[in-house]
Amino acid sequence: MAYATTVPRHKTREVGIDDHVVGGDNPIWVQSMTTTNTHEVGPTLEQIRRLEEAGCEIIRVTVPKAEDVEGCRLLRDQIRIPLVADIHYDYRMALACLEARTPSGRRAVDKIRINPGNIGGVERFKEVVRKARDAGVPMRIGVNSGSLEEDLIEKYGYPCPEAMVESALRHIEIAESLGYDQIIVSLKASHVPTAVACYTLFAEKCDYPTHVGITEAGSKEYGTIKSAAGIGAILLRGIGDTIRVSLLGDPVPEVAAGFDILRACDRRVTRPEVVACPTCGRLDIDLERIVAEVEQRMKGLKQPLRISILGCLVNGFGEAKEADLGIAAGSGKGIIFKRGVPIRHVRESEMVEALWEEVQRFDQETQPLASFVEKQKQKAQKSNLTVIG
């Protein structure tokens, strides 16, 4: 379901990472990062495969030493998604990753991430840029508030948005002077307002694609909320081309959280959204059970539709009409709406099954339309026209 209030996406240039294209009108990709020692190939591979199963689309691994370069070399042939080498302090690890080849002969990494605040200075950064340019491998310039260059701290007094954006822009300028522009930028901070201001300011000045995240977000529960607040605020400004929700512990939950944030912000909807009214004393149906059963039925569906389940008559009829499919219920019975039109009266015991039938029917009806709209969009892109879907 399209809403007129959806914020236009900030237009960025495209950068290829293996078979994924970042920026432009391409999907906002969901990333994660392994927690294992990269040179321990078995545990790292097992974790990446779990992340792939969860839907992770780009994976980053840490490369602090030479054994980890070898780990990348052995891992890349065995995974389906692009592999990114995360480099801090030792620029030689970036050079080694860019030179390494897998047993099958492909490059061991599909992108490198450089932290300009700890890579060792401009000359070392230039050496990495030249190697990446010659290898045809993209780079993320990952500015971090906790490791900003000393001269910028002296200039601004603290890692403010202006300092962080200046760090990114001057390293972009250095790279461009060497004939290299396959760049993605991140400007991460643990303080949410700082991160939002950084990305907003950068988008005003530059069209390079951005990777968005809130660093050091925290435990699974609070970290998810904090990331949703920060990443969501940035996405709702139309900014962001890849995202990562950084959580303490097992990285697999990061993936679902990332897709949920994209879905809530209406930036990328890859499965049904089920919404329900809050619990209050007016409820006279078992709404919690009904919602749980509907969500269970929706698992595995890829149709981006909005389903609204309302358990009383105060706002139910109006709110259910705003969804693709909705139920407004009360006194053990309810009405199913389809895009604002009431189509069925059902008893409480029939609601889940009846709604599931309508979901399947809706899917069959909208697939031909979705295919037509996609074809029209492709035609429009070729002729520089705009199609609103």
Q: Tell me: do 35 and 126 sit in the same domain.
A: yes
For residues 82 and 177, state if they share a domain. yes
pLDDT at 380 over 50: no
Could you tell me if residue 383 is inside a domain?
A: no
* Confidence class for position 369, pLDDT limits 50, 70, 90: very low
What is the residue range of 285's domain? 273-368
Domain annotation covers residue 4: no
**Mind listing the pLDDT tens digit for each residue in 177-234?**
999 999 999 999 999 999 999 999 999 999 999 999 998 767 888 999 999 999 999 9
Query: What one-character-per-residue DSSP string does 179-234 give?
Result: T---EEEEEE-SSHHHHHHHHHHHHHH--S-BEE--TT--SHHHHHHHHHHHHHHH
Q: What is the CATH number of the domain that holds 282?
A: 3.30.413.10
Helices (H) and strands (E) in the chain, counts: 12, 15
39 is a domain residue: yes
Q: How far is residue 192's CA from residue 232's CA, in Å, rounded to a whole number?
A: 10
* 373 in any annotated domain: no
Is residue 374 domain-resident? no
What is the percent of the chain with per-residue pLDDT over 70, rounded to a whole number?
88
> Per-residue pLDDT for 314 more than 70?
no
Task: Using pLDDT thresholds of 50, 70 and 90, give the confidence band for residue 371.
Answer: very low
What does the pLDDT read at residue 124? 96
**What CA–CA distance (Å, rounded) separates 89 from 117?**
9
Instruction: Specify if 173 maps to a domain.
Output: yes
Residues 29 and 113 grouped into a single domain: yes
Whether 310 is covered by a domain: the verdict is yes
Looking at 214, 232, 264, the residue that finishes a domain is: 264
Check pLDDT > 70 for residue 320. no
What's the 3-state SS for 38-90? CCCHHHHHHHHHHHHHHCCCEEEEECCCHHHHHHHHHHHHHCCCCEEEEECCC
Provide the domain count of the chain.
2
- Residue 119 inside a domain? The answer is yes
Q: Residue 38 sits in a domain of what CATH number? A: 3.20.20.20
